């Protein structure tokens, strides 16, 4: 039986102390931008032409449980 493995979304662990409570944009397995305001993050990505390419993720604050 074969087991399929996939690479992690980013190369290094996402630092909650830096990105907690923010939206992050990930492209080519690197965090390229972050902002607490989703619309401002999207605007910056559009200016750089990365709005369609980047993956977006909300990082929970330290101690929050999402279940």
3-state secondary structure 1-66: CCCCCCCCCCCCCCCHHHHCCCEEEEECCEEEEEECCHHHHHHHHHHHCCCCCCEEEECCCCCCCC
pLDDT in tens, 34-59: 999 999 999 999 999 998 999 999 99
For the chain, the domain total comes to 1
Range of the domain at 26: 16-58
Would you place residue 62 in the very low, low, confident or very high pLDDT band (cuts 50, 70, 90)? confident
64 occurs within a structural domain: no
28 occurs within a structural domain: yes
What is the rounded distance in angstroms from the CA atom of residue 19 to the CA atom of residue 12? 13
30 occurs within a structural domain: yes
63 occurs within a structural domain: no
Record the pTM: 0.81
40 occurs within a structural domain: yes
């Amino acid at each position: 039986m074969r087991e399929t493995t996939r690479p992690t979304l980013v190369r290094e662990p996402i630092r909650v102390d830096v990105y907690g409570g923010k939206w992050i944009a990930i492209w080519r397995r690197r965090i390229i931008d972050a902002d607490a305001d989703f619309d401002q993050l999207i605007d910056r990505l559009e200016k750089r032409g990365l709005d369609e390419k980047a993956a977006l993720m909300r990082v929970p604050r330290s101690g929050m449980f999402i279940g």
